Amino acid sequence: MSPLDHRHVTEYNPPSLGSEVPLRGRKPQGERALTGAERQARYRQRQADSHTAPARPPRPTRHASRPQQWHAAVATLLRLQAEYATWLDALPEALRNGATGEALQAVVDLDLDELASIEPPRGFGRD
């Protein structure tokens, strides 16, 4: 017997005329099947019961105004100038005439008091 002579095929058995055809799908829980509106109402209720409130998105960080940024930048420059002055004072005499000493001296010699005295405009007619 060759493989072509015998094949395994699912046989179709049509229902007999007197037998009842089995219904497809899940059996109704009650006496009758739910209507579309009833199914939709149940679905929405399940969603509402299982759904927690969405987390609020984080508030965007508030940026400092331009005048605040200006004052912060000037304060940083003054702090750095003081640090460079301390570094220059701690530098040995042999290194003060080199590139590092000259650069530190140039930073220390800058007059930042004029920058500190400037008051930037507030803008939008608030001057």
Asked if residue 64 lies in contact with residue 72, where contact means CB atoms within 8 angstroms, the answer is yes
List pLDDT tens digits, range 31-58.
888 899 999 999 999 988 887 777 788 8
What is the spatial distance between Cα 55 and Cα 104, in angstroms, rounded to a whole number? Answer: 52
Read off the pLDDT of residues 66-98 as tens digits, 9 standing for 90 and up: 889 999 999 999 999 999 999 999 999 888 889
Distances in Å between the alpha carbon of 122 and those of 3, 45, 67, 106, 108?
93, 54, 7, 32, 30
pTM surpassing 0.85?
no
Query: Who's near 28: CB < 8 A, 6+ residues apart?
Result: 34
State residue 37's pLDDT score: 95
